[in-house]
Amino acid sequence: MSQRDRADEILGVKERNPLGHRFGSYGLNSLQSQWTKTCKNKECTPDFFVIRAVTLLEVFTRGNVAELIDHGTEYANRAIELSKNLKMDFALVQGIQGRAITLGDIVAHNISVNSFSQMFGHFETLLGRPLRELLVCAVDRWSVEIEKKRPRPIIGDFDILARSLTRLFEVRHIVCHETPRKPVYVTGEVDEFLNEAIQFCKALEEVLTFERFGLVPLTQTEMNIDAGRSLRKKEEELNQLLAEIRAKVKVTDDARSAIADKNTDGSWLHCLNDAEEKWLAYRNAQCEFDTYLNRGGTIRPTLWAGEATRLSDIRIAELRSWLRRESES
C-alpha cells in the first residue's frame, strides 16, 4: 500500500461514517430488533447477525478510541502504548496539519480489534485504570434521573458478558475465515451475543461520557442552559485576550501620537475594535445561517451556541497567534 493510500483510506472511512457510531448500543439495538423479527423465518441467516454484531463493536471501538485520544493530552500520551508499531509517513502528517485527519484517527485506524480482550484492553490503556470496576458500576442515567427508575447496574454479570463476547469474536472468526463441517454455534446463542454486546456498549458509553464531560445534561432545557454557559465562558476568555491585545496596541498608538498627531478614527486601536465588531457580526450571522432550519425548535439554542463556541475558538486561536508573533517581533 502506498503512503498516500493510508491517508485516503482513513479519509474514506470518515466520509462514509461521519458520526463514527460512537454510540454502538443504538446500532446493536437496531440489529437486535431485526433479529427478533426475522430469526424464525427460514430465510434468516444467523451468520449475518454474528458478523454484523462484531462489526458494530469494532466500529464503536475505533470511533471512541479516536475521540478519546483527541480529547486530551493525557489520553494522547497513553496512546503511545497503542501506537508502538505505527509508522508515520508524509501523507499522514500532511493530513494532520490540514486538519483532515487527527492523531486519534490514525491510531484508531491501526489498532487490532480481533477479540474482546483486545477491545477491552484498548480502553483500559487509554483510561489508565482498571476498566472492569468502572463498567460494573455504570448505570443508565436517563432511566434513573428522567424516568425515575431505581438505579441498577447496566451489566448484569460481567463474567458472563466477558465469556459471551469472547465467544462472539471467536465464532465470527471461524465463520469468516474457516469452512467448518459442523455448526460452531447454536442459533439461540445469537440472543445472548446481542444482549451482552448491548450491555457492554451502554455501560462503556456512560463511562466514557462521564470521563470526558462529567455529568452532562440530559434534557433539552438543560442542554440549552449548559451550551449557553459554555459560550459565555468562551466569550469571557475572548474578551480577556482582547483586553490584553488592546493594551498592547494602545501603547503603540500612544508612542506614535507623541511623534505626530493622529486622527482617532485612524488609530490602530480603532482598527482592532472595528475588526472585532465585524467579526462578531459575522459570527452571529453564521450561527443564524447554520441553525436556520431549526427555527422554532427547542434544540436551536444548543446548536446556535455550539456553532458560536466553535467560531470563538477559532478567533481565539487566531488572536493568540497574532499576539505571540507581535511579542516575538
CA distances for 156 relative to 5, 166, 195, 197, 273, angstroms: 43, 17, 10, 12, 60
Residue 72 has a pLDDT of 87
Distance CA 252, CA 115 (A): 63
Residue 287 has a pLDDT of 96
Distance CA 227, CA 305 (A): 6
Mean pLDDT rounded to a whole number for the chain: 87
CA distances for 104 relative to 71, 101, 119, angstroms: 9, 8, 16
Residue 51 has a pLDDT of 96
Query: Domain segments of the chain: what residues?
Result: 3-213, 220-328
Burial class (CB in 10 A: 0-12, 13-18, 19+), 212: middle
Q: Which DSSP string do the residues of 6-54 spell out, in sequence order?
A: HHHHHHHHHHH-TTTT--HHHHHHHHHHHHHHHTTSTT--HHHHHHHHH
CA angle 122, 124, 130 (to 5 degrees): 160
pLDDT band, very low/low/confident/very high, at 104 (cuts 50, 70, 90): confident
Could you tell me the fold of the domain covering 220-328?
Substrate Binding Domain Of Dnak; Chain:A; Domain 2 (1.20.1270)
Kindly report the pTM of this predicted structure: 0.71
Distance CA 201, CA 30 (A): 13
| Cα 298 from chain centre | 23
Whether residue 76 has pLDDT greater than 70: yes
Residue 19 has a pLDDT of 59
The three grid cell numbers given for residue 106, joined into one nine-digit string: 490514525
Distance CA 306, CA 294 (A): 13
Residue 167 has a pLDDT of 97
Contact 165, 195 (CB under 8 A): no
Please tell me the least confidently modeled range out of 4-8, 46-50, 97-101, 147-151.
Answer: 97-101
Residue 93 has a pLDDT of 56
Under DSSP, the state recorded for 102 is -
pLDDT band, very low/low/confident/very high, at 141 (cuts 50, 70, 90): confident
Distance CA 64, CA 202 (A): 13
Hey, is 172 helix, strand or coil?
Answer: helix
